[in-house]
Amino acid sequence: MPISIIRKAAIGFVILAVLSAGIILLGRRLPGGFLPEEDQGYLYAGIQLPNASSLQRTAAASREVERVILNTPGVESLTSVIGFNLLSFVRNTYSAFFFVRLKEWSERKKAEEKAPAIIARLNRELGRMPQGNAFAFSPPAIQGVGTSGGVTFILEDRAGRDVEFLAENTDKFMAAARKRPELSKVITTLLPGAP
């Protein structure tokens, strides 16, 4: 009787080891994120110049970004929006945003023409631009959730005080918000030193 139990236990451990190995192999092949990035046939790019840069300077830098993007294999076309930042929805003179349309999936057969490879290449090339901070990223898998999704909060100065007062209270609010564990990547678009 005891030898029978030992054999059954050994068979159970072998089955457990095989299942564990299978789970590990399967787990390595599955995407790791909650919302994995997908090749949706388009992507976004943006450039941010130093605060208060002129619209003309931003337009000149945008032409350079456009040249880089359009010379990338797998890219079909793009649309530029100069003076707008899609991530913060702020209209200013020192930001530009680009909607990049990729070629049809059937035309992009090479590995370097897939969306992740295009984004990696663009980020390498755009990262070398001295004019400002330029980058490319994929749209969220579910609109409103992911790369550019989140919550927007508007803090207003209803007392009619000066910019320093608003900046001081914004800093206090941001410090309190960053302490909250349910919030991450808390940023503000207030730039009290820029017109």
Q: What is the pLDDT of residue 90?
A: 80
Nearest to 82, CA basis, from 57, 107, 51: 57
Sign of the alpha-carbon torsion through 118, 120, 121, 126: positive
The model's pTM is 0.63
What does the pLDDT average to over 14-33? 82
193 HSE (CA, 13 A, CB side): 3
Tokens of 23: 């789970």
Residue 45: left (phi > 0), alpha (psi -120 to 50), or beta? Answer: beta
| Cα four-point dihedral sign 36, 37, 40, 45 | positive
Report whether pLDDT(6) > 80: no
Q: Please give the pLDDT value at position 147.
A: 46
Identify the residue with better confidence: 160 or 35: 160
Average pLDDT across the chain, whole number = 85
Token pair 């320093």 in the structure block, residue:
164
Decide which of 163 and 4 is more confident.
163
Q: Which domains does the chain have, with CATH numbers?
A: 42-137 (3.30.70.1430), 151-195 (no CATH)
pLDDT of residue 67: 95
User: Residue 119 has which token pair?
Assistant: 């984004």
Is there a contact between 157 and 62 (Cβ–Cβ < 8 Å)? no
Weakest mean pLDDT among 32-46, 141-155, 158-172: 141-155
Q: Which residue, chain included where needed, has tokens 């030193």?
A: 193
How large is the average pLDDT for residues 101-115? 90
**Range among 87-96, 106-115, 139-148 with highest mean pLDDT value:** 106-115
- On the question of pLDDT at 44 being above 90, the answer is yes
